[in-house]
Structure 1
């Protein structure tokens, strides 16, 4: 498993569809990986994609909480079969889907502290949840509660300034408010409320774990700057909400030693540390290696940007979270719904359904495309909220069509990346000398696309080999929390080794700086 005397670390990832584990050494090299898929390996819970969609209540998407506990039982058995030596694991941390919530029944804390090591967890915790079906991030049944949250602080802009995001139906604050209003009996019987990440940490800790700053900042409840629950928003969640939530704690902080249950049942060292678990997006920031001056760009069905910020500027359709690596910094997420599918439609229409032809046409057109910009929103976009096709010349005048397919293709690609740059700058990221881009996702294999990304942002673009960034981030959290607790001054491993793919041309800013300004004027005039 590992060299004698070499410490090992366990990272877990409770995502929507599966529970995964990775064991790494102190150089972040993977030693073991195991996965439990909810749909196929726990069929008794009848999930589809890891959730139960309630037909009688459109928009409600839940998962049976005890299913996640049983998945951990299965996962631990798989690690045993893989001959993992648990006694060498010195710290554990984890990550989980953001915005889901777990409701512990009165007395659950005592149950967690007195588990029988001869019995499975799921058998002992089956009745420990006042709400047996946990709301997940896919749930969208809190419309009226969302309205109340915005009204409580003076509107969506004020809420974004306080919590980092305008209110969203999937966020945990409105979910708690709904339960307290619609199911007051269950709410009264709730001893504590966890996020999915802190729930998973609780199983290892043997007591209900606190929520970390980063995951707490995705709830529409915590003041980003004070790191405390906002009193006006907390009131909407029901009586004693502060006690039920507990105080949030710094990310990557050590919560304590592992539960005696895991020591006696699996042979963990009793000194093994449990480091605060976090949400999947903060953990992805860690696992991707995003640091100050880095921008993570995931090019998939949707394009998602991860940013490290020192002075955030919250916007209505972006998300600001507490930075999991630095309590004085922040991270931002920007999501653009029209990503790869929109690019593929343009390819199919103008490049004979061939990426080779698409790239050939893209590269045959000069950078800047004579000032032409195309915006193609096949689905209702998030940033900006727009639908349909728009074509503009360098005077920002609307056109009915472009003169050639080459111009059409470059206009579409540059339009997408200029839009990503515009909103990155709006939210506080400073584009300039020293900034670097890490590109991931399916489209990151297309060097022609990455060259346009590099030019429009004026930054070199790197890629990395495919890995589960959230799970690797969780393992890194365990290493970081362990070294901080021991007050060791060590050289921590880098989560990744990025490979330089392309660099911007020297005149890129001369070309694209004015185009960003033109796009800003267009967005303000036509979409806001």
Structure 2
């Protein structure tokens, strides 16, 4: 509990995030100010499930990673008891929504819908739903055991590019379609006894609703099964994942808009915890889309998360003409019927920056920044492309690549200063050209929201601003998935036709940290073209 906030009798919003390691809840007022928080850590608070990092890894095959849905249910029981103890009027909560770790799937057995509809408020959820699942260990996003099913799906629909054209992504082992395919092929009895397949997000929404909740468009985009244009299940993808008589479409249910009010809270929560019977449930979505919602990006804004991996988030008015299959395209969680969001994940982020800091700056960020700032923008034409790990955008093996202004390869640069600037410029040039390829358009109104560990380094952010030729902002409050759920509730309750940025855009607290230098556009437009050619030469190989 955040004790400095007084008890609030005005309408409140309740947002959840069922992530890999924990379930978190946040309560905000209508101004989207956080009043109360509660959480349950799976490893610490539920040791009987023997998780590490919130998951169970198969001792015989490390690629198999799962979690028990009944653990998530028990965690919900605990977090709800914690919310009850916060001593605020729960009947003032007018809306509930949330997020779930993307790609994970839950398999409800036949009869589970009846269980949800007839929950006894005198008993815990985990006691009543202990036998509600046909698959007791749900595959989660960390699972990578489905390569053969990815290959089968891509081949069936006509190749990886065709699958990306339909669903927004090539086949990935963690995506739900290949996970369902594995269950269908290796646990047919369990599959046949399954009444409904949920994503983690629609699973937890179903519990609050007291009935099966539909999979929302945005989270459903991360399955390799949903046609991102029509927002319906693609028949060929369904057949490629299972068979033409598997009843998969029926088991998935009808997809729903991410902004939809799906109903009122289950009577179980009214009687047990004191919720108002009029409290509405807004569709739950994935954790990445919900975090995106919390950023409250404008139409031409870009979010860049600078972490272990670097991730670029974009809001798109339409699908790109090229670049599909490079990264992921999802239905936009705050305008899921018309707009899209793009997610580009680059594996070589902070670990690579830390390696060059170690080698060139004696592990000191102060020295690193001094070296970075002692070299002019454009780095005398030198370009560096560094991969500590096999990269996925573009798909290329690990290695360091250094080029001079003529484009000739170098074994090493002439100084540590050049090395440091080559790294940072090279990373952001890569982010820029791949973002542009998938539909990013930098305008005079664009701004970049920087998050993640490196977003506290203003010298690195200045290079980011220069390379993209846009001002860089940081967010004073964390753009968490549970807070994004509260933002989405407010938007769902707004007058029809109200834009998301009109409703919540000014609620996200941004602080400008730097503007691009005047010569940045001329320098980096030219460098971006050179970088694209050099990167292509690395991908193609000698």
TM-score range for the pair, normalised by the shorter chain length: over 0.9
Q: Does 1:340 align with 2:350?
A: yes
**1:515 maps to what in 2?**
527
Quick one: which of 315, 331, 345 aligns to 1:322?
331
The normalised TM-score by structure 2 is 0.95
Distance (Å, rounded) in 2 between the aligned partners of 1:51 and 1:420: 31
Aligned residue for 2:384, secondary structure, equals strand
Aligned residue for 1:333, secondary structure, equals strand
**1:267 maps to what in 2?**
274
**1:34 maps to what in 2?**
38
**2:125 maps to what in 1?**
121
**1:420 maps to what in 2?**
431
**1:102 maps to what in 2?**
106
Q: How far off is 1:465 after superposition? A: 2.1
Aligned residue for 1:315, secondary structure, equals coil
Q: Does 1:63 align with 2:75?
A: no
**1:297 maps to what in 2?**
304
The normalised TM-score by structure 1 is 0.97
Instruction: Map 1:13-412; keep pairs closer than 5 Å.
Output: 13-235=17-239, 236-238=241-243, 239-313=246-320, 314-326=323-335, 327-386=337-396, 387-412=398-423
Distance (Å, rounded) in 2 between the aligned partners of 1:124 and 1:4: 33
Q: Per-residue displacement from partner, 1:16-65 (whole Å, max 9, x unpaired)?
A: 00000000000000010001000010000000000000012331100011
Instruction: Map 1:411-450; keep pairs closer than 5 Å.
Output: 411-450=422-461
Residue correspondences, number: 528
Distance (Å, rounded) in 2 between the aligned partners of 1:468 and 1:291: 15
Distance (Å, rounded) in 2 between the aligned partners of 1:221 and 1:461: 36
Between 199-208 and 303-312, report the one with greater CA deviation. 303-312
**1:505 maps to what in 2?**
517
Q: How far off is 1:317 after superposition? A: 3.4
Distance (Å, rounded) in 2 between the aligned partners of 1:358 and 1:325: 39
User: Over aligned residue pairs, what C-alpha RMSD do you find?
Assistant: 1.7
- Would the aligned equivalents of 1:483 and 1:490 in 2 still touch at CA under 8 Å? no
- Would the aligned equivalents of 1:286 and 1:469 in 2 still touch at CA under 8 Å? no
Between 486-495 and 101-110, report the one with greater CA deviation. 486-495
Distance (Å, rounded) in 1 between the aligned partners of 2:88 and 2:511: 32
Q: How far off is 1:237 after superposition? A: 2.8
Q: 1:324 to 1:170 in 2, by over 3 A?
A: same
**1:474 maps to what in 2?**
485
Q: How far off is 1:149 after superposition? A: 0.9
Q: How far off is 1:464 after superposition? A: 1.2
Distance (Å, rounded) in 1 between the aligned partners of 2:402 and 2:247: 54
Distance (Å, rounded) in 2 between the aligned partners of 1:487 and 1:444: 32
Return structure 1 stretches of 4+ with deviation > 4 angstroms.
1-5, 484-491
Distance (Å, rounded) in 1 between the aligned partners of 2:171 and 2:206: 27
